[in-house]
Structure formats: C-alpha cells, structure tokens
Structure 1
Amino acid sequence: MPANRTALSVLAEQRPETGYSCRQGFCGTCRLPVLAGEVAHAGSAAARRSDANMLVCVSRATADGGRITLDV
C-alpha cells in the first residue's frame, strides 16, 4: 500500500463492499481483525484499544516496513 493512502482507501477501491461510516461520523465501523503483523494505531483511544483489530481509516503497519494481514 502506498504511504500516501490509507488502508481504507485501498480496500474500498479493491472491495467496494467494505463497510465504513467514519466519514459520516460513526467511528469504529471500519474496524477489521488483524490476523498477522504489528499495527501502528492512530486515532482515538478506542481505536488503539486492541492489537487484534485495527481501524483501517487511520491505522497502518508499523514504520519498520512490516506487513499486516487483515481478515476481510
């Protein structure tokens, strides 16, 4: 995924059925289970509460170039 794009934008392009309502003000609807990898959480405290999930609108893989496998 390019550094200038969010996981959500890539997912929405590849899988238009990906659910999200964050742009309408409902945080948490884009939360996906993380199967592997280390997440650099961003956003609210609720967004950072679990390494087992990530909000794909704001979080991404850690800066060391790691990969994340999501359960989509």
Structure 2
Amino acid sequence: MAFNITVEGRKIMFLDEDKNILNALERKNIDAQFHCRDGFCGTCRCLLKKGTVEYAQFPLAFIGDNEILTCCSTPTSDIEIDIHG
C-alpha cells in the first residue's frame, strides 16, 4: 500500500523500495539531516505532525512525543512531518 508524505508543503509518495522515510526524502532531493541510518544517533529526528509510523526495530536514540526517526521508520498512514522542527 502506498502512503503520502507531506514535508515542507510538498507531497511525495512513499514507495516500497524506499525502505524508510529518509530514503523517500532523498529520492525527491529533500535535504534531511541524518548520520547513522540505524536509529542510534537521532540526527534524523523530526516532528510527526499527522499520521502514524512503525519501526522494524525500535530505535535506540531518544525520541520524544510526536517525534520520529526518518532513517528507520515507515509510514502506516499518510503522514505530515516537519524536518526542521
């Protein structure tokens, strides 16, 4: 099933081959911060404004309420994120 990601006013489609939200952002040349890609460092932390995500393995980096790590999460619904928040 395909879901939309809204970021910076742009809607992009999350594709199965993206594997995670960060890959979808990179595919569309959206400059998102990252470092480890494994959920350890938290650099890719962003605000989840709307929708839901899941993790194949819960990240080790701290994430607060309404925050996600784009490097290791996938949408389970249409989502809206703030990568600068």
- Give the alignment's TM-score, normalised by structure 2: 0.61
* Closer, same or farther: CA 48–61 of 1 in aligned 2, 3 Å: farther
Give 1:47 deviation, angstroms: 5.1
Structure having the larger proportion of residues in strand:
2
Which residue number corresponds to residue 82 of structure 2? 71
* Closer, same or farther: CA 26–32 of 1 in aligned 2, 3 Å: same
Identity across aligned pairs (percent)?
32
* Closer, same or farther: CA 45–13 of 1 in aligned 2, 3 Å: closer
AA paired with 2:81?
A: L
Which residue number corresponds to residue 45 of structure 2? 31
Gaps of 5+ in 2: 1-13
Is residue 2:19 matched to residue 1:8? no
In 1, the alpha carbon distance for the partners of 2:61 and 2:78 equals 19
* Closer, same or farther: CA 69–53 of 1 in aligned 2, 3 Å: same
Computed over aligned residues only, the root mean square deviation of the Cα atoms, in angstroms, reads 2.8
Deviates more, 1:7-16 or 1:42-51: 42-51
- Give the alignment's TM-score, normalised by structure 1: 0.70
Which residue number corresponds to residue 17 of structure 1? 31
* Total equivalences in the alignment: 69
Gaps of 5+ in 1: none
* Closer, same or farther: CA 42–7 of 1 in aligned 2, 3 Å: same
